[in-house]
Amino acid sequence: MLADLIESLAKIVFIFTVNVGVFAPILGWVERKQSAVMQDRIGANRADILGFTAIGLFHSLADAVKLLTKEDFVPANANKFFHTLAPFIALVPAISAFAIIPFGGRYELFGREINLVIADLDVGILYVFALAGLATYGTVLAGWSSRSNWSLLGGLRASAQMLSYEVAMGLSIIGIIIVYGSLRLTDIGAAQENFFRWGIFLQPVGFIIYMTCAIAENKRIPFDIPEAESELVAGYFTEYSGMKFVMFWMAEFLEMVTISAIVTTLFFGAWHIPFVTDAMLLSWFSGFAGPNGAAALAMAVNIAVFFAKVSFFIWLQMTIRWTLPRFRYDQVMRMCWKMLLPLSLINLSITGLVVLLL
Amino acid sequence: MNPYVPVLIMLFLAAATAAGMIAATTWIGPKKKFADKMEPFECGESPIVNPKQRFSVKFYLVALFFVIFDIETVFVYPWAVLFRELNWFGFVEMMIFIFILAVGLIYVWRRGALEWD
């Protein structure tokens, strides 16, 4: 009991450090740097400590200090309670959604089985969707409670867009669940040990629908009409400043990490290296490291592989963000209801038929 | 150990982080209030339109469609998990269910409720 608690606390601290301590601040810098590279600029490289610039990495630190010392602004007519509650509701699901995502397999370490997931829930992926649904409240409340025209329009657009894409997103991964027969992400990850059983080969259409819906759900370009700087100033978070603004911004980056992790787990073999099974990895390492050392090394390799894949999909989302222009609102809604929803229904019907016939 | 205990710890940690950030931004930082500053952002002008106005009925329609089709999704999930056990019986039943909802979608589509203009 106590050992279980210590183990899960260790995993929580690890994931919390990686997400909130590493990904969230670094991604802000990565996004600026990538936009600079793609637009042929030099980019964020000015912040320095005693002359060391560390290729601009100190900008995250500078941003944190600057935003922490900014005035916390609440408009005079705003509903102060909901105005404060909105970033809270936006950030909490974004941080805790990672709890059910496995970042490694199962290992036998000193006679104790370690399952590298914070909570191996039987509802699995539904937990993520439930929390993604909660994030809608944060956005809509932020837009409504600010009592500003820009914010209200942004909140309205966000409500319709996020609700619509949630439906198509939920249906897009039904194919994966049919194929692997489980909602548990650990089961789905373990089923992809064989390279040719990866989700992307079995459900290519599902992957495209899921990725599109997830980016739309996260309100990033090309689906950033709730924020649309050129139309709505900053959309639903126009009236936010200081750390409350950072919370929306952090929620967006953490959702990006979560989306990448889900895509990795469902479609790209989770923690597996192509053509290398867990048993092969263990037998290679046990030659020189002994059984416990081999398990620890395999664990480290699998975690590294998992986060390398996650980083790749974060890069992909950032590339999409700096490549495509923003869609019009009617285009966004048409794409969801008239293309993605029928397509995901057809995809799940055909998947079911093929699985039964084979 | 109950698998939901780590989830609760994670939620608590997330809530503590978020609350800490809100508390930090409320305590640190200057507080200089004057009437012009406290107005909502309108490019320096005073707002002439009250945001508490009516908005398009389309948004309510989208909310209604969401309820219908999200409930459909909820019914499809358990079927997908038990797909191999239910076999052809489950497949045919689910196709009938999806067909009925597809008719609804086509109806909504043909009536122009999905058009934005």
Instruction: Give the pLDDT confidence of A236-267 residue by residue, as tens digits.
Output: 888 888 888 888 888 888 889 999 999 999 88
pTM listed for this prediction: 0.88
Confidence at residue A312, expressed as pLDDT on a 0 to 100 scale: 92
Angle at A293 between CA A292 and CA A298, to 5 degrees: 100
CB–CB contact A330 B114 (8 Å): no
For the segment A114-132, the average pLDDT, to the nearest whole number, is 84
Least confident of A71-75, A177-181, A187-191: A71-75
Beta-ladder partners of A113: A108
Among A88, A166, A210, A332, the residue to mutate for chain B (most B Cβ within 10 A): A88
Domain boundaries, chain A: 76-357
CB–CB contact B83 A239 (8 Å): no
Query: Cα–Cα distance between A32 and A81 in angstroms, integer?
Result: 33
For the segment A287-293, the average pLDDT, to the nearest whole number, is 77
Given a cut of 70, is residue A206 above it in pLDDT?
Answer: yes
- What percent of chain A has a predicted confidence (pLDDT) above 70? 100
Given a cut of 80, is residue A145 above it in pLDDT?
Answer: yes
In chain B, the residue whose alpha carbon lies closest to the alpha carbon of A163 is B66
Token pair 């609440």 is found at A74
How do residues B26-36 score in pLDDT, each as one tens digit? 888 787 877 77
Query: Cα–Cα distance between A94 and B59 in angstroms, integer?
Result: 25
Given a cut of 80, is residue A177 above it in pLDDT?
Answer: yes
Query: Cα–Cα distance between A51 and A49 in angstroms, integer?
Result: 5
Beta-carbon contacts of A286 under 8 Å, excluding residues fewer than 6 positions away, are: A293, A294
Measure A354 CA to nearest chain B CA, in Å: 11
- Give contacts of A119 with chain B, Cβ < 8 Å: 3-7, 10
pLDDT band at A155 (very low <50, low <70, confident <90, very high): confident
As to burial, measured by CB atoms within 10 angstroms (0-12 exposed, 13-18 middle, 19+ buried), residue A85 is middle
Interface of B with A in 80-99 (CB under 8 A): 80-81, 83-84, 87-88, 91, 94-95, 98
Given a cut of 70, is residue B44 above it in pLDDT?
Answer: no
Confidence at residue B43, expressed as pLDDT on a 0 to 100 scale: 66
Query: Cα–Cα distance between B11 and A351 in angstroms, integer?
Result: 36
Query: Cα–Cα distance between A277 and B12 in angstroms, integer?
Result: 36
- Give contacts of B25 with chain A, Cβ < 8 Å: 67-68, 70, 72, 242-244
* Among the four given CATH numbers 1.20.58, 3.30.160, 1.10.287, 3.40.630, the one describing domain B5-111: 1.20.58
CA distances from A243 to A296, B22, B27 (A): 39, 7, 11
As to burial, measured by CB atoms within 10 angstroms (0-12 exposed, 13-18 middle, 19+ buried), residue A134 is middle
If one compares A196 and A110, the residue with the highest pLDDT of the two is: A196
Rg (CA), chain A: 22
Question: Residue A43 CB: number of other CB atoms within 10 A?
Answer: 18
Given a cut of 80, is residue A43 above it in pLDDT?
Answer: no
Measure A119 CA to nearest chain B CA, in Å: 5
Confidence at residue B31, expressed as pLDDT on a 0 to 100 scale: 79
Query: Cα–Cα distance between A177 and B14 in angstroms, integer?
Result: 29
pLDDT band at A192 (very low <50, low <70, confident <90, very high): confident
Question: Quick one: tokens of A240?
Answer: 């936010």
CB–CB contact A329 B116 (8 Å): yes
The verdict on B106 touching A (C-beta cutoff 8 Å) is no
DSSP letters spanning A165-218 = HHHHHHHHTHHHHHHH--S-HHHHHHTT-SGGGSHHHH-HHHHHHHHHHHHHHT
Beta-carbon contacts of A178 under 8 Å, excluding residues fewer than 6 positions away, are: A348, A351, A352, A355, B80, B83
- What percent of chain B has a predicted confidence (pLDDT) above 90? 2
Summary mean pLDDT of chain B: 82
Confidence at residue A57, expressed as pLDDT on a 0 to 100 scale: 79
DSSP letters spanning A235-296 = GGGTT--HHHHHHHHHHHHHHHHHHHHHHHHHHS-TTPBTTB-HHHHHHHHHHHHHHHHHHH
Given a cut of 80, is residue B64 above it in pLDDT?
Answer: yes
Summary mean pLDDT of chain A: 85
Least confident of A27-31, A139-143, A225-229: A225-229
Given a cut of 80, is residue A27 above it in pLDDT?
Answer: yes
Confidence at residue B42, expressed as pLDDT on a 0 to 100 scale: 67
If one compares A145 and B35, the residue with the highest pLDDT of the two is: A145
* HEC secondary structure over A95-124: HHHHHHCCCCCEEEECCEEEECCCCCCCCC
Measure B94 CA to nearest chain A CA, in Å: 9
Confidence at residue B51, expressed as pLDDT on a 0 to 100 scale: 67
* Interstrand relation of A112-115 and A106-109 (parallel, antiparallel or unpaired): antiparallel
CB–CB contact B22 A127 (8 Å): no
ipTM over 0.90: no
Query: Cα–Cα distance between A268 and A188 in angstroms, integer?
Result: 11
